[in-house]
Structures are given as C-alpha cells and as structure tokens.
Structure 1
C-alpha cells in the first residue's frame, strides 16, 4: 500500500483585535506544518466596537484564504472563493446574520462556544454570593471606614436546596450548573429540542478540560420546547435562580417579559442574564424588580438593551440589581482557547472528521 497523501496546504487569514497568541499559534504550526497563517490586526474604537467599514483587507488575502478566523470583519462571498470554513472568536453569530456570506453562501461557520464557560460561570457565582451576602452594603461600610451593622443579616439564606433553572444548557450553563451543584443547589435544564437519551444530553462541542457537564448528568430534570407553553411550564418549576444563557434568535428575542416574570415572581426568583439584553423586555424586567410583592428579588445583568446602557436607565439605581459592561466572558485565556478550537477543527478537517461548534443557519446558532 502506498503512503497517504500529505494534507492539503491551508492558508489561514486571521483578522483580530487581540494580541497574537504566540503559544497557540506555535502549537498550530507544530501540529500542522502544511498551514500558513497571515494575521491582520484591527483596533477597537472607544465604544468597544470596530470600524468595520474602514478595515481594508487586500483582495489577494481573501482570495488565498482557505480558512478565515474573525469576529465580524467578513468578505463578500465572491471575494473568498476558496474558503472551507470561517471560525468566529465569539460564541454567537447573531451579529453577522445579515451579512451576504451568512445569508447567501454555504461556507461552514464555526464558533468559539465553550471557551467562555469557566470565566462566565465564576461571574455568575460571584453575583449570586454577592447578592445573598449584601456585598453592596458591606463595601459601602468599608468606604466609610465604618464597622456597620448589616441590615437583614439574619435573613441571609444560603443556596443549599435552592433550585437553579438554566435556560439554554450549553457550555456556560453546564459549568454554572457544576459550580452551583457544588453549593448544594438542585439544577434543572431547558433546551430548544428534547434531550431524552443519554447521547442527546452529551456536550459534543469544545470543553475546557476539567469543567462543564460533558455527559449531561447534573440536571435533575430536563425541559424543552420553542413555544410559550413549554417555556412557562419550565418557569413554573419553583425556580429560585434563573440563568439566561440562550442565543439570540427570532424565537428568543423578547421571550422573557411580563408573563414570564409573573411566573418567576411567585417564587421571588433571582434573574441572571449573560446572554443578550434583547432576550428580555427590559421595561417589564424593571417593573418586576420594583414590585414589592410577587416580583423578582433581584437581577445580575452583564447584558442590557441597548448596549451601552444609557445613563438615564432606571436599572442603574435599583438596589437589587448588579450591572456589568458585557465583560463576564473576558479573560486572559480567551484568545488561546479560541485558537484551540480552531486547531481542533484543523485536525478534524485533515482527518475527514466533522468539525465542532458548527453553526446551524436555520436555528441561528
């Protein structure tokens, strides 16, 4: 038998605002000597976005590229005829669904889903513990150099026996479930499609080693559906903390509003949103947070609608709300892990295997 032909040469075009991840790139070059990597740096604007229309990528670079790694800078389909797949540095692709290459091409799209689980789950845990233990008041005492008396100190209830409802049981939800389970919480999961078999409950995407719930064994119960009745049935399961971790799609946009908060309010639930602000009807959320009886006891929001959140928003001044500027997924390992996903898919491509983290355009994620 003859030797297998060498892998086809790949030209990876990387368009990124991040510093070059030397270790991850060296790993790719070591494992894939057939790969050539070209990096084009872009810069953030002061508001955290990029001047996408001002970024000029030479046509020749797009034409040579067989793999593109980017966040939002994309070619027209005809500019990049040789693309095998596009790897996004983000977990979601809702920001590019109106681009021609998303709508009018069949180029495979992959995401960095899975790389954010540890840091976002830690952010969630931080918010839950800070809220329960009145951290805002304690920090105020420290700023005032005051050995103060904590209001409600005997009303603090730990999380043992409380129920976490995870709306969207992906990598972030799974790692949050792992941490909350360690606190003694019960966990229930909600997904768009039914997960009735052990195989269907498995996480088949990228998993940071030592994290998550690969086999899907943590939840005590699974719920599913894309209709209001199914969602309401899930929300009625005596949820103490609701984690919103679904992707933004036409189905999930504004899916949490007055009716849903009334259901959660019966259990005086705490809401955490690390997904997208427009999944929630924000005015309805504010009303539920201000409601003395039958409302939400509090919320931790890393995302809002709109972003940035304007200074006039009532959310800023609500004592039972914590707001952060969409940074729960940030961390020193972000870029390295994203390139690890890319390397995994390079290996899969060479060996004729399925790519991981592939976007289903019909579902929107």
Structure 2
C-alpha cells in the first residue's frame, strides 16, 4: 500500500490525500483536499472534508460507503473496478483446472506420500457459465478462449449481448444452470443476486458440477452449498469469498475435501496498485481540466 501511496503522492503532490497512509493525527489534511482515496470514509471524516470533490474508493464494491452523505455533499464517487480482473481471472482458471485435473486430490496424496492413480477429466468440451459480465467476468471469458469450452453468460441485461457463446438473463438462470459443468460467479451483490445460488439452483446443477465464487459470499446460500458438497450433490467448490466472512475456524467448509477456500485474495497481486494509481491520476487530471473534455473513469455516483 505504501509503494502505491508514495507513487501517487509523487505524481499528484498536494492534491490527493490517501487515507491508507494518513495517520489519525494528520487527517486534518482531508479538510482542504479536493480528492481523497481509500477503502472507506466515515461520516465524521466526511464532515471535515470541506473541499472534497472526488472520493476514489480503492475497492470495486462501494455498498459499504456512506453514498447518501457523499451525494448530499456533491462528492463524486469512483471505484477500482477492473484493477483486480486479471488476477481474479487467473485464479478462476486455476480453480477450474484444479478440479478438472483433480490436482487437489493429488496434492493431498502427495502430502501423505501415497502413489495412487487419480482419474482426472479435461476442461475441453465442458460448458462454463459465467454469471456477471463486468470486468472480471469478461476477463474470465477471454482467458477461456483457448480451452475449447462452450461458454454461457448470465447478466442483468442479456439484450446487450455478451462475449460468450450464449447469454441469458437472471430470470432464465435455471436454463443456464441445467447446461453447466462449471459455474463461475463474478456478479455484484444486489437484491437480485443475493442467494441467487440457493438450494434450488444447486439442485438444478448436475452433481458433477463445480461452483467457483469470486463475487460476494452472500450470492450463494452457504448452508445449501455445504449440504450439496456433503451429499455429493456437487463435485466441488472454489470460494474466494464466503458468507460469513471471515470464515470462522469452526465452519464446516474448512472440513470438506471438495471445498477450496481462499481469504478474498484472488485479485490481490502487486500489479493492482499501479492500475489503481493510473486510474486515479487520470481522474485527477480530468478534474483539473477546466474544459471538462476528459470524462472521469469508473464513476459509481456523480456529485
């Protein structure tokens, strides 16, 4: 984080305040800053931000922010959408190949020194359904291009088309699930997508299917998922996000051999900080452009 903040400070002196590097005693700087960046900004700090024009959230999701208060103050909000996509997409591919080639089984036997044949399958010829076709979902589809798989996209507005072989709306998700070997969840958490993958959805999938969740934990009904994994109603699940999160040490997901859990780190590579700095730097230049000819990137809410 410090490398990113130092780079940004060098490029944009005296204009941007990063909450990631600003200790409590120095947060008075926020009072005069036109741009503030960080994971969050609380209402007390926002009340002191008299000159704030842009809050650049370093997360892709902004549902945790006081968006109503920011709107009341005329502050534009941007997010970090897209900066994590390459890393997350690579982890998705790793998860798909892990289950296709059953590498997790070989790894477990390797730890015990057991030389025993593992019957794997091929990703080729399977159907991969990607729910959510934003930056992450699109990056996943792009990386599947060389694997000779059929792809299905599920999105809020299917009339927009998709880079997949087929596209469905959320209202037809069961039709997509019935054709799915690998289900990748890369959608935002909304009223529509909360528990989108519930017991009924999991029952629609073939027992040989695998679920990969890099979206948000509550997109999946955790209890229903655990039940499906325990009863062979599902071959496996790779979860970079969970509900609850963090996942308690005594949670049953930790005990399942067919569940791979990572602590919400799929997109956390060193490369995402330079990407974030580039977006922020371009947006600051746009604010400084009095003619307003350059639009802001990644706008979530205009002030």
TM-score (norm 2): 0.87
Q: Give the SS at the match of 1:128.
A: helix
Aligned to 1:287: 227
Do structure 1's residue 235 and structure 2's residue 177 form an aligned pair? yes
Aligned to 1:80: 49
Number of residue pairs matched?
298
Aligned to 1:258: 199
Aligned to 1:170: 134
How far residue 67 of structure 1 moved from its aligned partner, in angstroms, is: 1.0
How far residue 123 of structure 1 moved from its aligned partner, in angstroms, is: 0.9
Q: Give the SS at the match of 1:83.
A: coil
- Structure 1 gap ranges (5+): 1-17, 44-53, 202-215
Aligned to 2:147: 183
CA contact (8 A) 1:62 1:75 kept: no
CA contact (8 A) 2:229 2:236 kept: yes
CA contact (8 A) 1:119 1:328 kept: yes
CA contact (8 A) 1:42 1:55 kept: no
Mapped partners of 1:231, 1:56: distance in 2: 51
Distance of aligned partners of 1:190 and 1:84 in 2 relative to their CA distance in 1, 3 Å threshold: same
Distance of aligned partners of 1:164 and 1:233 in 2 relative to their CA distance in 1, 3 Å threshold: same
- Structure 2 gap ranges (5+): none
The 5 Å alignment of 1:1-365 reads 18-21=1-4, 24-25=7-8, 28-29=11-12, 36-41=15-20, 55=24, 58-59=27-28, 61-76=29-44, 77-96=46-65, 98=66, 101-102=69-70, 104-146=72-114, 148-151=115-118, 153=119, 156-196=120-160, 218-225=163-170, 229-236=171-178, 238-265=179-206, 268-292=208-232, 295-349=233-287, 350=289, 352=292, 353-360=294-301
Q: Give the SS at the match of 2:109.
A: helix
Mapped partners of 2:4, 2:105: distance in 1: 40
CA contact (8 A) 1:167 1:189 kept: yes
Distance of aligned partners of 1:57 and 1:249 in 2 relative to their CA distance in 1, 3 Å threshold: farther
Distance of aligned partners of 1:55 and 1:283 in 2 relative to their CA distance in 1, 3 Å threshold: farther
How far residue 307 of structure 1 moved from its aligned partner, in angstroms, is: 1.3
Distance of aligned partners of 1:84 and 1:219 in 2 relative to their CA distance in 1, 3 Å threshold: same
How far residue 55 of structure 1 moved from its aligned partner, in angstroms, is: 4.2
Distance of aligned partners of 1:348 and 1:239 in 2 relative to their CA distance in 1, 3 Å threshold: farther
How far residue 234 of structure 1 moved from its aligned partner, in angstroms, is: 3.4
Distance of aligned partners of 1:230 and 1:287 in 2 relative to their CA distance in 1, 3 Å threshold: same
Which structure: greater helix fraction? Answer: 2
TM-score (norm 1): 0.74
Mapped partners of 2:214, 2:122: distance in 1: 22
RMSD of aligned Cα (Å): 2.6
Distance of aligned partners of 1:55 and 1:253 in 2 relative to their CA distance in 1, 3 Å threshold: farther
